[in-house]
Structure 1
Amino acid sequence: MSESSPIFAVILAAGKGTRMKSNRAKVLHTLCGVPMVNYVIDATRPLVPEGLFVVVGHQAELVEAVLPEDAKPVLQEEQHGTGDAVRVALAALEGEDEGILLVVNGDGPLISDKTLGELVERHSSAGVGATVLVAELEDPSGLGRVVEDAGVVRIVEERDATESQRQVRLVNLGLYAFKLSEIRSAIGGLTSENKSGELYLTDVLETIGRRSRAVTYKLKNPEEANLVNDRSQLARAEEILRRRILDTHMRHGVTVRDPASTHIEATVEIGRDTVILPGSLLRGQTSIGTDCVIGPSTDLQDTLVGNGALVEHSVGRGAEIGDRVSVGPYSFLRAGTVLEPGAKIGAYCEVKNSRVGAGSKVPHLSYVGDAEIGAGANLGAGTITANYDGEKKYRTMVKDGVFTGVNTNLIAPVTVGEDAYTGAGSVVNKDVPAGKLAVGAPARAIRESPQRRRKRAGRDGSAKNETEG
């Protein structure tokens, strides 16, 4: 077989995973925010496979929904074992007889592209019909044991193993490289004469071994041998992935003060010189700029954070936090929140579906929902937007330079004009004209606002100085 033989990758992802004790297919369980099967798919990509096939079965539609576009799902209508799964995949490869068939279990999220490359290289250089990835483990429980003798490799599933075979610590990791023509020929000879009544892919190894030899390749990095069959193994694998992710960020210039208490999902991006403080959880499509401080105890999901921002003891869900913005402690930014550069959201605030303008402040104890806050505004403590009348939600417009007194209630729909001012405890249910002071419940405009008066005084002073000059 030439070194340039085409590679066809098959991911086995049809099983239910009964030991997970879950209503969800095993390969759909996530590790650091990514479905288990997608880690395996990513590991095959550097080999540039001619075709990438994922055998689906249990909850097929749900599994197909998480697959990347370049992965072609192949349906195994009834789950009769790994041998049947490969048979289904080979049917999808009709007309292809030359090349390498790389078969990988979908429950091995820690496998690396480096290992898969070495497996294929070992297979190609040996010129054999089949190559099996194996590992020697201290605790081989739940895995098939490997017996190799004179070019013949046998895998004995644990449920079918004798007591002496159970003592063997060399195990099968469910990864194989086959000569495509050999696996096509051998797959039809499988039988279900075993305790589970399934077609085991491992049974073809003995057949191929006698015809064109089979060899093993021992895994170099034991971490990658952590297959996931139950929740305990899921947690163990996720911990390894979590640490890998943290190490990658730290090598790229991010400071993580306490890796043991910091959780960053695989899809998160973080700029250099940002500091992540203890107890922080960063998830989904969260992207953080440079020179930020995140945490302690901050939970951001699908949230964009600009450069130089501070977010402490707070929660973000689908929010946009601009450059040099300060958030927290103990604030909640809900979906649709946009904080423009230099804005401040202080302690115990909630912001939802609202834009807060550049340099504006919502210092503490406020709810801002469905609102547009202009630049340079200041919402006093306890200011809230009453955006819901029991049937519909309405928007509140707070223009540039507005100052609201403590405990102001803004009853939407309402507009507070530029440089307007509301007195403490005001209930604003009608528009406040620009540059006016409004007080009372309901609030009414009584005179010019302090900030408009200061601006006018400043203009008059400038004009007087110019005249005297």
Structure 2
Amino acid sequence: MGGILNYFAHDTAIIDAGAQIGTDTRIWHWVHVCAGALIGERCSLGQNVFVGNKVIIGNNVKIQNNVSVYDNVTLEDDVFCGPSMVFTNVYNPRSAVSRKDEYRNTLVKRGATLGANCTIICGNTIGQYAFIGAGSVVNHDVPDFALMVGVPARQIGWMSRYGERLDLSEDGETTCPHTGERYQLKNGQCYLFGPEDVQDKSWTPTVED
């Protein structure tokens, strides 16, 4: 790798030449980062993580053990990927049929949590601060702040940025007791108002072909 690194990589990690990795990111045992990967600052990649070439990872992203982030996956800032959760990039894979030109993009927006052992089917977008329960299978787009559980995943509520369930039903408002942020449910969508309104401020990069 040569030179002075501005990130930490364990001796067992494989970082292919060309990978771009931000300051203070930590890369642990048996991780493989491919040459085309773009990884932001202050990230943590746990044991046995794989990061493909056409992958963009924002700042302060936590990827727990045994997660493979395949081509055409983008993770915005502050995303959490739980242990052994799964991304895909081909919708109908066959070993004998090459479908590398059919990869579907997956976007996980700022602050979302993907619980342990959940699966995100390719071609979908996970909204800001959405919360995917452990073991769930997501096969469609997920709204901002949505709480999703089950196989296939269904929405059962709303989650705050702080990571706790909001008391919202039908159109109405509630306040997070921890942060003072105010949430409003209107026409089936959850909106945040408060000391820092983060709506429409999420970094949305694109994966280059």
TM-score by length of 1: 0.33
| Partners of 1:359 and 1:385 in 2: CA distance | 19
Letter of the structure 2 residue corresponding to residue 451 of structure 1? R
**One-letter identity of the residue aligned with 1:426:** S
Structure 1 residues 347-369: Cα deviation after superposition (integer angstroms, max 9, x where no partner): 01111121111011002110111
Alpha-carbon distance between aligned partners in 2 of 1:339 and 1:441, rounded to the nearest angstrom: 31
Q: CA 1:269/1:329 → structure 2, altered by over 3 Å: closer, same or farther?
A: closer
Q: Distance in 1 between matches of 2:130 and 2:162?
A: 8
Measured in 2, the distance between the counterparts of 1:445 and 1:336 equals 35
Q: Give the secondary-structure state (helix, strand or coil) at the position aligned to 1:459.
A: coil
Q: Is the 8 A contact 2:19 2:34 kept in 1?
A: yes
Secondary structure of the 2:180 match is: helix
Kept in 2, the 8 Å contact 1:326–1:344? The answer is yes
CA distance in 1 between counterparts of 2:181 and 2:69 reads: 36
Structure 1 counterpart SS, 2:46? strand
Partner residue, 2:55: 354
Deviation at 1:329, TM superposition (A): 0.7
1:459 is displaced (CA, Å) by 2.5
Q: Distance in 2 between matches of 1:437 and 1:399?
A: 14
1:1-43 alpha-carbon deviations (Å, 9 max, x no partner): xxxxxxxxxxxxxxxxxxxxxxxxxxxxxxxxxxxxxxxxxxx
Instruction: Determine the structure 2 residue equivalent to 1:324.
Output: 24
1:460 offset after TM fit, Å? 4.7
Residue 335 of structure 1: CA displacement?
Answer: 3.0
Residue 76 of structure 2 corresponds to residue 343 of structure 1 = no
Contact 1:374 1:401 (C-alpha < 8 Å) held by counterparts = yes
* Equivalent position of 2:9 in the other structure: 311
Aligned to 1:366: 67
Q: Is the 8 A contact 1:437 1:450 kept in 2?
A: no
Name the CA distance, whole Å, in 1 between partners of 2:83 and 2:128. 20
| CA distance in 2: counterparts of 1:447 and 1:367, whole angstroms | 28
The answer for the alignment partner of 2:79 in structure 1 is 377
Identity %: 26
Does the 8 A contact of 1:328 with 1:345 survive in 2?
A: yes
Q: Deviations over 1:144-202 (max 9, x none)?
A: xxxxxxxxxxxxxxxxxxxxxxxxxxxxxxxxxxxxxxxxxxxxxxxxxxxxxxxxxxx
Correspondence for 2:154 among 444, 448, 464: 444
Letter in 2 for 1:378: F
CA RMSD of aligned residues (A): 2.1
Higher helix share: 1
Deviation of 1:441 after TM superposition, in Å, equals 1.2
Counterpart Cα distance in 2 of 1:335 and 1:394: 20
Shift of 1:451: 3.3
Which structure exhibits the higher relative contact order, with contacts defined as CA atoms closer than 8 Å and separated by 6 or more residues? 2
Residue aligned with 2:157, SS: strand
Taking the aligned partners of 1:332 and 1:350, their CA distance within structure 2 comes to: 5
CA contact (8 A) 1:435 1:452 kept: no
- In structure 2, the residue corresponding to 1:336 is in which secondary structure? coil
Q: Distance in 1 between matches of 2:86 and 2:32?
A: 14
Q: Which runs of 4+ in 1 moved over 2 A?
A: 450-456
Change (3 A) 1:351 1:447: same
2: CA distance, partners of 1:413 / 1:327: 27
2:64–2:84 Cα contact (<8 Å) kept: no
2:190 alignment partner in structure 1: none
Q: For residues 340 and 331 of structure 1, what CA distance do their matches in structure 2 show?
A: 16
User: TM-score scaled to structure 2, two decimals?
Assistant: 0.71
> Structure 1 residue 269: deviation in Å?
4.2
Q: Which runs of 5+ in 1 are unaligned?
A: 1-267, 272-288, 290-306, 464-469
Report the count of equivalent residues: 161
Task: Check the 8 A contact 1:421/1:450 in 2, yes or no.
Answer: no
> Take 1:341 and 1:431, find their aligned partners in 2: how far apart are those partners?
27
The one-letter code of the counterpart of 1:315 is I
d(CA) in 1 for partners of 2:79, 2:155:
18
